Amino acid sequence: MSLLSHALSRIKPSATIAVSQKARDLVAQGRQVIALSSGQPDFDTPEHIKEAARRAMDRGQTKYTAVAGIPELRQAIADKFRRENGLDYAPSQTIVSTGGKQVIANAMLATVNPGDEVLVPAPYWVSYPEMVALCGGTPVYIKTAAADAFKIRPEALEAAITPRTKWFMLNSPSNPSGAAYTEAELKGLAEVLLRHPHVWIFADDIYEHLVYGDFKFVSIARAEPLLQERTLTMNGVSKAYAMTGWRIGYAAGPAALIKAMDTVQGQLTSGPCSIAQWAALAALEGPQDYIRQSRAIFEQRRNLVVSMLNQARGLRCHTPEGAFYVFPSCADLIGKVAPSGRTIATDEDFVSELLEAEGIAVVHGTAFGQGPNFRISYAASTEQLETACEGIQRFCAALRDPS
């Protein structure tokens, strides 16, 4: 009998984690590497949040908590949704989990049956299809085009819906493209969803605070309140407050769904870390200056990176509305020969030759379901970004036509 489960055979390891590991391995071998592969703010967690964690430990708040989270945090989450998103949820309609990632896993485990389809706009965050597949569901991809700013059109959504569709995953702003939907665009998608009442909406709003210029973030259940009764709105403190390692994510939705997710979570983890929950409470209720400051810095970095990439020979980079990623196309470089003498046949070849030649780690677009592109995370210092973009320009200029 095989040790490994059939479920395991349906999923693959995270490509973003794999590239980051490859970069760490090269560093261990003495190479200089700039890693633009990982999706986390390069800032430290604000001091008042760390202080709340220290206080929690000093007070002995170190025991199991209620499965769905401490009441204080669930209240703060309900308040946050009302204050920032105009969404009304009772604290009992919220749940706190070990990262936004576990919110998604709980939701999929609680609802997806073999054969159920989950609509995933591409390019997508690498974990959506894998979690769906782990639960026996079928991810159904909806392609987008750079010309549409990597956003799906209502007619594409309509065409993808079948009687088996269980969820529509909507990640705005998006990892990996940075695309964020305007209120009007959300209303366009909502019109389609209103015609298909069996489809649930998973709103992954984890990058909501990272939007630039005069872009105004709106959550889909706010854009179309009639959808709220079948929307799970997910968020978390990882990206908003530089708290990726604290592992706190949360969601709000219809009571029956939250109860089902609570049952799953109760058996899997008993609930998230008590200390991290008190820290997350301080993040949601404390001063919000960090969000404003980090947003301003990320916006400058986005502008720098987009402009430098568009000066690289053969790359085309769209300016995204949000998150801390750009998703340039390297289509014009496919078929060229790298300094190593190897031909670049795919975006995966492009990123691996770039890592070898210039020590710059980025992730190939096909890992996110769309290529030939690559994803750069600009959650790195301005100096590193400048050096990396110069390296990319040099690498692109050194590519030759095959002889």
- Residue among 97 and 111 whose Cβ is closer to ligand PLP: 97
Please say which residue, 87 or 363, places its beta carbon nearer to ligand PLP: 363
Q: Give the range of 98-106, 135-143, 191-199, 271-279 binding ligand PLP by CB under 6 A.
A: 98-106
Window 230-289: residues binding ligand PLP (CB under 6 A): 236, 238, 244, 249
Residue 275 and residue 123 in contact, taking contact as beta carbons nearer than 8 Å: no
Tell how far CA 220 is from the center of its chain: 17
Residue of closest CB approach to ligand PLP: 99
Segment 161 to 200, residues that bind ligand PLP, using CB under 6 A: 171, 175
| Contact between 120 and 169 (Cβ < 8 Å) | yes
Taking a C-beta distance cutoff of 8 angstroms, is the pair 320, 149 a contact?
yes
What DSSP letter does each residue of 341-394 carry, written as one string?
Answer: S-B--SHHHHHHHHHHHH-EE-EEGGGGT--SBEEEE--S-HHHHHHHHHHHHH
Q: Which of 33, 76, 206, 258 binds ligand PLP (CB under 6 A)?
A: 206
CB of 234 to ligand PLP, least distance (A): 7
Minimum CB distance to ligand PLP, residue 29 (Å): 27
Phi, psi of 322 (to 5 degrees): -160, -165
The interface region with ligand PLP, picked from 25-33, 96-104, 214-222, 336-344 by CB under 6 A, is 96-104
138-143/94-97 β-pairing: unpaired
User: What would the DSSP string read from start to end of 64-124?
Assistant: ---TT--HHHHHHHHHHHHHHH-----GGGEEEESSHHHHHHHHHHHH--TT-EEEEEES-
Residue 88 structure tokens: 């009304």
How many angstroms separate the CA atoms of 308 and 388, rounded? 10
Minimum Å gap between C-beta 210 and ligand PLP is: 11
19 within 8 A of 361, measured Cβ to Cβ: yes
User: Residue 139 interacts with ligand PLP (CB under 6 A)?
Assistant: no
How many C-beta neighbours within 10 Å does residue 308 have?
A: 18
- Token pair of 320, please? 């995204």
Among 69, 100, 178, 365, binds ligand PLP (CB under 6 A): 100
69 binding ligand PLP? (CB under 6 A): no
Find residue 252's DSSP bridge partners.
94, 233
Q: Does 318 bind ligand PLP (CB under 6 A)?
A: no
375 lies in the site for ligand PLP, by CB under 6 A:
no
Which of 69, 99, 253, 365 is close enough to bind ligand PLP by CB under 6 A?
Answer: 99
123 binds ligand PLP (CB under 6 A): no
For residues 25 to 64, the per-residue mask of contacts with ligand PLP, x marking binding by CB under 6 A and - elsewhere, is --------------x-------------------------
- Token pair 């100096």 is found at 383
Which is nearer to ligand PLP, 206 or 399 (by Cβ)?
206
- Give whole-number Cα distances, 9 to 28, 208, 268, in Å: 31, 34, 21
Interface with ligand PLP in residues 324-363 (CB under 6 A): none
Contact status: 320 vs ligand PLP (CB under 6 A)? no
For residue 193, the surrounding DSSP H or E stretch is helix 183-194
The residue range among 94-102, 141-149, 220-228, 307-315 that interacts with ligand PLP, by the rule CB under 6 A, is 94-102
CB closer to ligand PLP out of 175 and 370: 175
> Which residues make beta-bridge pairs with 171?
204
Specify the residue, 101 or 222, whose C-beta has the smaller distance to ligand PLP: 101
Residue with Cβ nearer ligand PLP (220 or 308): 220
Task: Give whichever of 246 and 395 is closer to ligand PLP, judged by the CB atom.
Answer: 246
CA separation for the pair 168, 170 (Å, rounded) = 6
Q: Which stretch binds ligand PLP (CB under 6 A): 95-103, 130-138, 155-163, 213-221?
A: 95-103
Q: Minimum CB separation from ligand PLP for residue 235, in Å? A: 9
Interaction of residue 130 with ligand PLP, rule CB under 6 A: no
Task: Catalogue the E-assigned strands of 223-302.
Answer: 231-236, 249-252
Cα torsion angle, 156, 160, 166, 172, sign: negative
Number of residues that bind ligand PLP (CB under 6 A): 13
Least gap, CB of 101 to ligand PLP (angstroms): 3
Question: For binding to ligand PLP (CB under 6 A), which residues are involved?
Answer: 39, 99-101, 125, 171, 175, 204, 206, 236, 238, 244, 249
